[in-house]
Structure 1
């Protein structure tokens, strides 16, 4: 694991950054999640770091990198989302602010156990997006803006790279017994419902704005394209869910999809040259 600092210019990115406009807008809705959940994750994991016994030396090191990676994810998505709003979708912001307020409330009113378990749930469900972008979305990405595609692949490759950190933190702090397992599963479904609810609000706004002025035939075709993206996105969801819900779930055992390591290597920091 390492922290990477990619540099992209999103000033020319448009909301329809892929030829399949419904696909682009559905990913744009998803892009609002990291802008707010990542700062929340950072704050939660800083609290967890303070509570984590010093004997977990490797986990402390991994957690420090995890926190810095998430900060970079937030930064890039904020820049990307700013470009989307500037392209005529300013109405996103009001929905985003409601979502941001939820995380502020969680930090103020929920226990560390809840916040760590929620974070673990988000990290677990990200496995679906990882496989989608590297294995399922190639037809949608053909002809897409290269920087938008790279941003998503870099982010999701790092989600894979640190896939076990939040899971290990949860169990290090709260144990591995049946109560810890049941709480993890409950928090997973809570997180999925909460995040999905927000994404659907943004998605509805973006797609309905695009459909303004469409004929009935054009609207039906747009809805059909949206449904196709949803079908492809959910293709492997049941298999992921089966793994996540197992009492023996180990994120570290997940294998990387083809092409993921190449993305990590492409943005890796080169070791400093030895001085004579």
Structure 2
């Protein structure tokens, strides 16, 4: 694990940065997540460090790097999202507000166990999303704007790189027993539903806005493309995420996708 400081330039990028616009908009919707969840992750993991005290020095060191990576993810996606707002999708911000407020509510009212387990749920989603992006989506990335592709590949490769930090934090604080496993699985389901509901709302806004100027034929074609895209990503994600439910799940055993190491080396 290491901290990387990419210098992306989104000044000339377009919202429809991939030939299949529904694909671009689905990831544009997901770009709102790191803008708000990453600060939450950092705050939770700072609380974890306090709870660990002076124990687990290697984990504490990993948390430091993890937090610095997440700060960079937030910074880059905030800049990317500003491009989307300026391109006519400013309505995204109203949808982001309650989502952002949820994380402050979690910090104010939820237990550390809940917050760490939720973070681990998100990180499990992130490592799976990285594998899907690197291994399953070449047909959608062909002809796409390289700056946008690099943003997502860098981010998701780092998500995979630090995939076990929240898992190890949860295990260090709450152990490996039956209740610890059941709670982790429940929180994973909670995170999937919470984040998925938010991104679905933003994606619906983006695609609906695109379809305002379409003919009926174009609109139906767009709906069909989106349906095929959702089915492909759901199938590719499901076969990976189902492993998270196992009491023997250990993200450290996951194998990096081809191309991840080379991509991260480019940004090092």
Q: For the superposition of Structure 1 and Structure 2, which TM-score range results when normalised by the shorter chain?
A: over 0.9
Match of 1:246 in 2: 246
Query: Any idea what the Cα deviations from partners look like across 1:35-84, whole Å, max 9, x if unmatched?
Result: 00000000000011110142311111111100000000000000000001
Cα distance in 2 for partners of 1:7, 1:141 equals: 21
**Deviation at 1:215?**
1.9
User: Is 2:154 the counterpart of 1:165?
Assistant: no
Match of 1:148 in 2: 148
Mapping for residues 12-27 of structure 1, pairs under 5 Å:
12-27=12-27
Cα distance in 2 for partners of 1:12, 1:83 equals: 9
Mapping for residues 1-276 of structure 1, pairs under 5 Å:
1-268=1-268
Query: Any idea what the Cα deviations from partners look like across 1:96-127, whole Å, max 9, x if unmatched?
Result: 11110110111111011100000000001112
RMSD (Å), alpha carbons: 0.9
Cα distance in 1 for partners of 2:214, 2:43 equals: 44
**Deviation at 1:228?**
1.3
Cα distance in 2 for partners of 1:194, 1:106 equals: 12
Cα distance in 1 for partners of 2:153, 2:194 equals: 24
Number of matched pairs: 268
**Deviation at 1:235?**
2.4
Cα distance in 1 for partners of 2:250, 2:17 equals: 35
**5+ long unaligned stretches in structure 2:** none
Cα distance in 1 for partners of 2:212, 2:148 equals: 25
**Do 2:128 and 2:241's aligned partners in 1 also have CA atoms closer than 8 Å?**
no
**Do 2:132 and 2:237's aligned partners in 1 also have CA atoms closer than 8 Å?**
no
**Deviation at 1:204?**
0.4
**Do 2:136 and 2:236's aligned partners in 1 also have CA atoms closer than 8 Å?**
no
SS at match of 1:224: helix
Query: Any idea what the Cα deviations from partners look like across 1:158-216, whole Å, max 9, x if unmatched?
Result: 00110100000001011111011110011000000000000001000000000003222
**5+ long unaligned stretches in structure 1:** 269-276
SS at match of 2:144: coil
Which range moved further: 149-158 or 52-61?
52-61
Cα distance in 1 for partners of 2:197, 2:161 equals: 27
**Do 1:13 and 1:84's aligned partners in 2 also have CA atoms closer than 8 Å?**
no
Query: Any idea what the Cα deviations from partners look like across 1:230-263, whole Å, max 9, x if unmatched?
Result: 1221222232233100101000000011101001
Which range moved further: 49-58 or 193-202?
49-58
Q: Greater share of helix residues, 1 or 2? A: 2
Which range moved further: 113-122 or 54-63?
54-63
SS at match of 2:63: helix
Match of 1:274 in 2: none
Cα distance in 1 for partners of 2:241, 2:30 equals: 19
